[in-house]
Amino acid sequence: MNSKPTIPVGGQALVEGVMFQGRTESASAIRRKDDSIETFEQPRILVPWVQSLKKVPFLRGVVALYESLKNGSAHMNFASDRYDVDPSEDAAPEEEEKKQSFLMIAIVAIVGIVSYLFGKLIFNVTPALLASLFQDVPLFSGHVIQNLLEGGIKLVLLLSYLYLISLTPLIKRVFQYHGAEHKVINCYESGQPITVENVRASSRLHYRCGSSFILFTVFVGIGVYMIVPIDPLWLRLVSRIALLPVVIGISFEVLQFTNRFRDHHLLSFLGKPGLSLQLLTTREPNDEQIEVAIKAFETWEQAELGETVVQREG
């Protein structure tokens, strides 16, 4: 067995593929419709002042989320643009730019719009509105009970949303690639050779997963919103949006804490709720999907060890 690696790596599932990113590089691989595997790599652009902010506790979570979304969008575009392109069009790049898959562009656009509306409006405002309807009911009145009720409604909405989208064939395959991504990272962090057999035997759950982060925002939000009055209603609704960066910052620190102590016999339980949610957001991948994830990882590792860094002033 190899010694445990020291290069931190994260990842993301794509349409028919996986992306990995580290300190300086990101790379992805997708399975195209002709069964070939295509890769894409991109050096991270490190802005000095942004990197400085990432060293500030509670603020670094917001910055890390922004960087992750920004970097991930390039790989998502690559996956949606390339996986369904006919291989015969590779020889005609000018035509290829004109013949992007309408279906995949539409799906990605719809998922993006729904995710945005769900995150910004439904997921933050609707629970507060629903909880306020019971404000005059003795059993559900009071500041603390109202916040707990709001958090409970938000948790139900989150679980329902994830379950419903997991029933669609497209998202089910994305969740399989999500599982493949976790398996590769777990295999890598355990120091084992990255082979299909070793990856298959690794866990599809990981303490640093974004699913865990989302769940932590629900629990952290309950505590943060305790400091804000629930009356008038407009203040309650506005505060849910205004305090979102605070919730994100604290949740990121909680995620890092649970990952740091995941092997501690007393503190490892703190990450269990997030791991339980991953039973819904990941699926067991097949060997072909694992091969794609391994290819993405190998492409990332080769680029990362080359230490290609793009520095930008300002």
pTM, rounded to two decimals = 0.83
pLDDT tens over the chain, length 314 residues? 455 666 889 999 999 999 999 888 999 999 998 889 999 998 877 778 777 888 888 888 888 887 777 777 788 888 877 776 665 555 444 444 444 444 554 555 455 555 655 666 678 889 999 999 999 898 899 999 999 999 999 999 999 989 999 999 999 999 999 999 999 999 999 999 999 999 999 999 999 998 999 999 999 999 999 999 998 999 999 999 889 899 999 999 999 999 888 888 777 888 899 999 999 999 999 999 999 999 999 999 999 887 544 433 33
Per-residue confidence (pLDDT) for residue 293, from 0 to 100: 97
Helical axes 143-166 vs 272-281, angle rounded to 10°: 30
List 39's β-bridge partners, or say none: 29
Question: What pLDDT sits at residue 173?
Answer: 95
Q: Is residue 1 part of a domain?
A: no
| Residue 135 lies inside a defined structural domain of this protein | yes
Taking only the tens place, the pLDDT of each residue in 22-41 is: 888 999 999 998 889 999 99
Residue 3 lies in a domain: no
Task: Give a yes or no: residue 5 inside a domain.
Answer: no
Contacts 24+ apart (CB under 8 A), 234-239: 236/128, 236/132, 237/125, 237/128, 237/129
Name 71's Cβ contacts closer than 8 Å, sequence gap at least 6. 21, 26, 42, 44
pLDDT at position 90 is 57
Name the residue range of residue 126's domain: 10-311
**Tell me, what's the pLDDT at 235?**
93
How many domains are there within the chain?
1
Which backbone phi and psi does 18 adopt, to 5 degrees? Answer: -140, 145
| Per-residue model confidence (pLDDT) at position 185 | 96
pLDDT at 30: 95
What kind and span of H or E run contains 210?
Answer: helix 210-224
pLDDT digits (tens, 9 = 90+) for 202-256: 999 999 998 999 999 999 999 999 999 998 999 999 999 889 899 999 999 999 9
The per-residue pLDDT for 63 is 85
